[in-house]
């Protein structure tokens, strides 16, 4: 998980101006071609952050979909059992929740970048509802909370086309 967290922080500054092709066909082609490594949530999320940084959205969605497919139910269970955020000393114990939440965050941000606002709104709402207590490590020394303002972000894009 620490590797994916490091990638997370590095990509926010590195998300440059790459062009992108985005279609279901492009995602399916990427899903057939990408290396999922050991299929761990850490690996999938780390690769998703790399694709996010490059704005390689077909690969981003290939990795995030696989992570959600494999770990989404476990993440929901973790979130449902919580009443508040996990303390930073044990936050990484919620690995599925943190990685699946990060995947939803990346997907929503990618949708916004592509001006696919209805999809962004739906993804932000899912993040806020099902993965509310996810946290991502910033190498600067703290956890940040992707779902914390997800409803506000959804509201911002709800009426855009």
Predicted local distance difference test score (pLDDT) of residue 136: 92
Overall residue count recorded for the chain in this entry: 161
Residue 86 has pLDDT above 70, yes or no: yes
- φ, ψ of residue 26 in degrees (nearest 5): -65, -40
Residues 41, 73, 96, 31, Cα dihedral to 10°: 20
Element (H, E) at 143: strand 142-144
Predicted local distance difference test score (pLDDT) of residue 14: 37
Q: pLDDT grade, residue 21 (50/70/90)?
A: low
Predicted local distance difference test score (pLDDT) of residue 7: 37
Rounded to an integer, the average pLDDT of 59-65 is 97
Predicted local distance difference test score (pLDDT) of residue 24: 87
Residue 16 has pLDDT above 60, yes or no: no
Instruction: Give CA–CA dist 138/52, Å, rounded.
Output: 16
Residues 6+ apart with CB under 8 A from 160: 115, 117
Q: What is the pLDDT of residues 93-150, one digit of tens each?
A: 999 999 999 999 999 999 999 999 999 999 999 999 999 999 998 878 889 999 999 9
More confident call, 139 vs 19: 139
Domain boundaries, the chain: 2-157
Residue with tokens 């991502």: 136
């Amino acid at each position: 998980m620490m590797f994916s967290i490091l990638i997370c922080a590095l990509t926010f500054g590195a998300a440059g101006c790459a062009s992108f092709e985005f279609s279901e066909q492009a995602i399916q082609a990427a899903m057939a071609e990408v290396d999922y490594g050991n299929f761990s949530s850490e690996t999938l999320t780390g690769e998703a952050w790399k694709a996010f940084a490059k704005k390689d959205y077909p690969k981003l969605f290939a990795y995030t979909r696989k992570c959600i497919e494999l770990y989404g139910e476990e993440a929901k269970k973790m979130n449902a059992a919580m009443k508040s955020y996990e303390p930073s000393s044990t936050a990484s114990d919620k690995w599925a929740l943190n990685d699946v939440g990060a995947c939803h965050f990346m997907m929503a941000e990618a949708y916004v970048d592509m001006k696919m606002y209805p999809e962004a709104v739906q993804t932000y709402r899912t993040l806020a509802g099902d993965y509310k207590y996810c946290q991502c490590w910033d190498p600067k020394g703290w956890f940040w909370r992707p779902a914390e303002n997800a409803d506000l972000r959804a509201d911002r894009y709800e009426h855009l086309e």
